[in-house]
Chain A
Amino acid sequence: MDQFTLNLIVVGASFALYFGIAIWARAGSTAEFYAAGGGVHPVLNGMATGADWMSAASFISMAGLISFGGYDSSAYLMGWTGGYVLLAMLLAPYLRKFGKFTVPEFIGDRFYSPSARMVAVICLIIASVTYVIGQMTGVGVAFSRFLGVSSSTGLLIGAAVVFFYAVLGGMKGITYTQVAQYVVLILAYTIPAVFISLQLTGQILPPVGLFSEHTASGMPLLQKLNEIIQELGFASYTEAHDTTLNMFLFTVSLMIGTAGLPHVIVRFFTVPKVADARSSAGWALVFIALLYTVAPAVGAMGRLNLTTTMWPNGTSGEAVALEDIANKPELQWMENWEQTGLLKFEDKNGDGKIQYYNDKSKDEAFNAAAAAKGWTGNELTVNNDIMVLANPEIANLPGWVIALVAAGGLAAALSTAAGLLLAISSAISHDLIKGQLNPSISEKGELLAARISMGVAICVATYLGLNPPGFAAQTVALAFGLAASSIFPALMMGIFSKRINNTGAVAGMLSGLTITIVYIFLHKGWFFIPDTNSFTDANPLLLSIKSTSFGAIGALVNFGVAYLVSGATKAPPAHIQDLVESIRIPKGAGAATGH
């Protein structure tokens, strides 16, 4: 059976499973549509949260980021997991007790202010829409690579699948589909990693293999990797290259951004009890950690495999020959992936060999030695994403593993897209339509409105996926910056302080938000228009703080302004202080409700 048929069978089977679940779990009420009726078991909810959280970026791109960033990329690993500790202790149990459907609804009620609710709705929609564009393009890439259709066709198929189960099932359908998607994506991620860890270190567990001996050289794997890449002029893998200040702030921003992303928070409205919200955050992290502890191993081992493939005779010997790439079956993957544009090789000095090295090294002695050997520039360019997508082929794994990676990439992208679309549609139907425009709408009418806004959101996301704005890649910083500087502090103060009032909260959110957006625009260009920036991340305005790390500062500003303004104005009314008292106590939670 050829690879294409195998891919088609595995992906087709996974889709049939998702459809089956969607029909079984269709939503009949708004409670089921927004919060799955509040009856999802914490372990299953944790699994669904894991699939929701691990996007195309986590599945496809993160290992590549670590691979080429080394120690500095640890910020992603700590940031995207540490946020769950904050969720479990500072937000999830109390928001579950509050028992409403959406994050803006809590902010609006706690700060007794429709404008606070509107600020939250706007942040939510911007953060979720920027995120969803990346998922839709991810679906297109996975389809085009593995199923041989154009990426636009792939995107349309993906959108149709999400449309079917998200519009039909709402949160209930999405949750149970995500459980299945989690299983598919984690198998797809860990199976190739286990094979590669066995090949390189003899260890079956990749996180153990990462710190074990590299069997071929007898050296510790990371030491071998450091040695071989430094001989090619690249920076050390295990040393820090970023400043401590920026790495610290970047990690803080990712952590509180994670805890403040609305599509993650709403997951904790679906469990039956407050105690379940706490343990569900733990289960979510168990399932996320399975991927996140394996990712650094995939990154380091992938980098080592790639480098030794390019230098089969060691870094002082001859580089891989063009002739071998064309003829040897174990190098067939290079030609396969060259067609996708994720890998490029070009024999610049015409010696029939492909020299992969760092031609931008700051080490003059290395540059002189490279020139003396007749190297006229690096001859191989690799896209980060290849570290996961081509991993099974680089390691010569069987065809079914490659098919599984295709299904896994699609599961990761579809599950996150569905979660985001739900967050967007509930903000529109529940916070805008029911909350502002037509409070007397019937449950049936609201359910219809939710389904229509979900449909519209999918169409908008598909359009943006087909015509991605040029700034799509940079806006991820914006999504995390918004969540970190506006939503997280507002929620936390709403729970932990009885003194923060409506004026303080709105002033805090707006100032945190504004300063963060301005800082990002100053470095990335106003509204991301090229060449309108006054600074660059290489040479930032404040100390060494890059625009991607500024969410942490924005959050500090938010906290500070909210405290000062609240202190200078009237304390919240008694019934709001009672509300804060009541969300702190688990007793009497009941199911999530819209009333």
Chain B
Amino acid sequence: MADKSSSNAYWAANIRIISISLVIWFMCSFGFGILLRPMLSGIAIGGTDLGFWFAQQGSILVFLVLIFFYAWKMGKIDAEYGVEE
């Protein structure tokens, strides 16, 4: 196993990526889909507004991209810190 300071740095890098990802996760579901929907009501799409699209389609697509981004990025970080299996 890697030494203590290296494993702390690895964990900090992981936390940083999780935080960024979860901010996007929150914005695209709770944000655009629910809380900020009134602000997006001016942007029309297919007979309704962008907030509706995010709530029923967009959020799910963003979730998918986020997980694969996280898996890819962590794969690189694992290798960088020499903790991959």
Contact = CB atoms under 8 A, between A and B. Distances in A.
Contact of B2 (A85, A88, A296, A585): A585
A469 to B, nearest CB: 33
B67 A296 contact: no
A292 B60 contact: yes
Given A78-B33, A289-B64, A88 B71 contact: yes
A102 B52 CA distance: 39
B29 A82 contact: yes
Contacts of A77: 55-56, 59-60
B27 interface: no
10 contacts: A82-B29, A85-B25, A88-B67, A221-B46, A273-B85, A275-B84, A281-B67, A584-B10, A587-B85, A588-B85
Interface of A is mostly: helix
Contacts, number: 145
A71 B33 CA distance: 10
Contacts of A252: 30
Interface of B is mostly: helix
Interface in A539-595: 581-582, 584-589
Query: How big is chain A's contact interface, by range?
Result: 35 or more
B57 A296 contact: yes
Contact of B47 (A89, A223, A584): A223
Interface string B38-66: 00000001111100110111011101101
A74 to B, nearest CB: 4
B34 A244 contact: yes
A589 to B, nearest CB: 6
B48 A223 contact: yes
Contacts of B61: 289, 293
A586 B78 contact: yes
Interface stretch (A118-126, A205-213, A310-318): A205-213
A133 to B, nearest CB: 28
B29 to A, nearest CB: 5
A397 interface: no
A238 B60 contact: no
B52 A238 contact: yes
Given A224-B47, A587-B84, A279 B68 contact: yes
Interface in B1-56: 1-2, 7, 10-11, 14, 18, 21-22, 25, 29-30, 33-35, 37, 45-49, 52-53, 55-56
